[in-house]
Amino acid sequence: MKDDGKVIRGYKMGTLRGLMDDSGIIEEIVFDSIKPHDLELCRNMILKSKCLKGGDILINDRGFISRDVINFLKVEKQVDTYVPAKKNMTIYQEAVKIAISEDKWQKHPNRKRKTQEIHLVKDLGMMWQSNTPDKDVDLCACVVHDKKDNEYYVFLTTDTNKTAKQIINTYELRPEIEEDYRQIKDFWKLEDFKSTKYNFITFHIVMTLIGYMYFQLFKNMEEGNKYSGKSLPVIIKNYKEDKQKSVIIYSGQYFGVFSFIEFIQLYAGCSAEVRKLLDPTLALV
């Protein structure tokens, strides 16, 4: 496909990420070529996922705006959705207009956002209609006003019992999720492919995500509690190994696992020619 006039090739992955305390795990993935739109890539996963259960919430970005999907999740699965509205949407424009006219702004709960204020607007369902308006679920919104640049942002949810503060606090989990994905790509080398073949790429992605999941689960166990809230690079930098190292040697269908002392003993008993072959392995230990 073309991107900014340039022909590019590649693959696209969608994930369903579940939150666990201060970390998260990848619960489900979908994988395809780079061509499908993000929403179309993930639509079936979202609608059919067994991981989404009644009482859950789904936090989306603007790429996943779909009235039909939001309706289905609320009615069929009792899952509430949080999603930002686009500026060209009627519901955005009406929410901002109502918030300005009511003029009941509150401080933004995030202390870092000192120039921002929030306002709750209810009963917005009719402002965003599907092809079957009579089946549309109701929506409310937290309107955010940034006084510094006089910009407005609208965050929608199907959970109409929430306050403006609750809506924005929930949606602000997204930056943490995005940072987590950045670390998966940068530090877990998710995109470090050694081949362009589909099966090799799939294997690499699946194995990387399995390793990531075990890492996240370990941090939520008693044994890994000391690593809670820390990223992989920080842990690796401060990690001190207290167990004896092992060496794995393989050739064809044969392999052996040796303690470091056993490996040195074997190395010492080998000819100069064999030791030369083992030197690269010894240098890594």
Q: Which range has highest mean pLDDT (144-153, 171-180, 211-220)?
A: 144-153
Residue 153 phi/psi, 5-degree rounding, is: -130, 140
**Neighbouring residues of 198: CB distance < 8 A, sequence distance ≥ 6:** 11
Q: Where are the alpha helices (DSSP H) in 164-219?
A: 164-171, 174-186, 198-219
| Token code pair at residue 8 | 């590019």
Rounded Cα gap, residues 42 and 27, in angstroms: 13
Taking the domains of the chain in order of start, what are their residue ranges? 52-181, 246-284
Rounded Cα gap, residues 235 and 280, in angstroms: 27
Q: Convert the pLDDT of each residue in 166-187 to its tens digit.
A: 999 999 888 777 777 787 887 8
**Bridge partner list, 117:** 107, 145
Specify whether the CB–CB gap between 119 and 191 falls below 8 A. Answer: no
Closest alpha carbon to 50 in 79, 82, 81, 21: 79
Q: Convert the pLDDT of each residue in 100-127 to its tens digit.
A: 999 999 999 999 999 999 999 999 999 9
Q: Which of 10-24, 82-96, 243-257 has the lowest mean pLDDT?
A: 10-24
Rounded Cα gap, residues 155 and 276, in angstroms: 64
- Confidence (pTM): 0.74
Specify whether the CB–CB gap between 119 and 145 falls below 8 A. Answer: yes
Specify whether the CB–CB gap between 120 and 102 falls below 8 A. Answer: no
Rounded Cα gap, residues 62 and 278, in angstroms: 54
